[in-house]
Chains A and B, each alone.
Chain A
C-alpha cells in the first residue's frame, strides 16, 4: 500500500492561518447577534463542524466506491480515515449544538428538531463502522465490507435528513437555504471563513492520520526485513487497515 501523503506541511500552515483568521473574524469582526448576544458565536463552530462531518461521511462513501472499483488498499485507508475523522467532528458538532440549544432554546435536547434527531441517527449509524470492521478478521474482507458499509451509509445520510425533516416542524435556523441564507454580510463572511477553516482542519487531520498509519505499516515492513519475522510481535486484531 502506498498512500503518499503530500503537501502535509503546507496544509498544516494553511490550516493554522485560516483557523486564526476565521476565529479573529468571528470574535472581532462579526457583530453580536441582536437576540442571542455572545452565545451566538458558537454557531460559527457548530455549523461548520456539522457540515464538514456530514461531508466527511459522504466522502468516506465515495472512497468506498473507489476501493470497490479499483481494489487498491489505499482507498480503503482513505475511506477509513475520512469516516474516523468525520465521526470525531460529528461528536464535537453534536456537543456544540447541544450547548447552543441549551443557551438559546433552554433545553439540551429538543426532539421536535429534525436536524438534531437525524444528525444523531447518522452518528449512531457510523458508530457501528468500527465495531463492524473490528469483528471481521480477514483484512481483505474487512476492507470490502467496510467499503460496502461506507457506501450504503454515505447514501443514507441525505435520505435520513429528508425523512426526519418531514416528520416534524422546523425550529432550527436555516443557514444555507435556497434563497442564499438570511445572514447579514459580515456574519456571512465570518461563517464561510470558519467553514473553510474547519474543512481545512478536517483535511489536515485526516492526512496526519493517514501518514501515521502509513508510517507504522512501513516501519513494520522495514523491521521485518531487517530483523526477520521473529522479531515482530504478531499483529493484533484491529479495526484500522493494516
Chain B
C-alpha cells in the first residue's frame, strides 16, 4: 500500500466549498490505482457537522478550534504536518483558491516537499505522479513528475468533476486535538460586499468587459448594449481595479459567479480566474482581437475583431430588431 492522501477540506461560512468535492474525487481516482487511504482534513470552529458530507473519504479527521471563525493558517499547517507523519501520508491536495492561497508553499517549505501549483490533471506513471498545470493564464500546459508520488498539490478549481467526490456513505470520523500554535496573523472579521445597484448574478444577459475596453469612457458603449438587451454590464478584474466599475460587478475567482443565458465576453482574454466565474453561462459569445485568446476555447461563438468597432454596431442592430 502506498502513502496516504490528505485532502484539506475548504469551508467558508459553514459551507463546504465545491473545490473540496473536486479534490476528493481526484483523490479517489488516485487511490484506486495506489490503494492509498484518503483522509479528509477538516479544521475550524464548529465544523464537525460538515463531516457527514465527506463520505468520499476513507476517514475524516476533525480538528475543532474554537479560537476564531477562520482557522489560523499556522494551525492548519501544524495539523497537516502532524498528519503527514501520523498517517504516513505522502500527498496533500489543497484548493487553488483564495482561502488556501499561500498555504501550500508554506507546507511544502516546512515539510521539505515539492509544491505544484495550478494543477488540473493528475495521473500515475508507475510510482511517479505526473501533474499537469496550466500556466500563463491558460495559454501553456506543463507536466511535472513527482518521482515518489510525494508532494503538495494545489488543485485549480473547475478541473475535476465535483460529483466524483460526493457520496452518501457515512465516513468514519477521527478527532484530533488542535495542536498548540502561535499565530502572528490575527483574524478580525469578515466584511460582506456592499450591495451594488444591480445584482449581476440575477441577469439573463451580461455584457462583460475586460482590459480590451481600454478606457472608462468606453464602458458606456457596453452600458448601451446592456440597456438595449435588458441586461447589465459586468467586468474582469483589471476594469474593476481601475475603478471603472464597482466591485459588485466583478466576475471571477475573487468576484461573483454568474450563469446568465448569454454572457458576452468583450476584450476579455479568458484567464482561468475569470473563466471560473462565468464558465457555466448557457451561451458565451467572445469578441477579441487576439485569435489565440483562451476565451475562444470555451466560448460558443467567437469573433476576432475590435470590440470598440463592433459594440456600437451591435447595439444598433439590437435596437433595430426591437422596433
Binding partners A and B: no
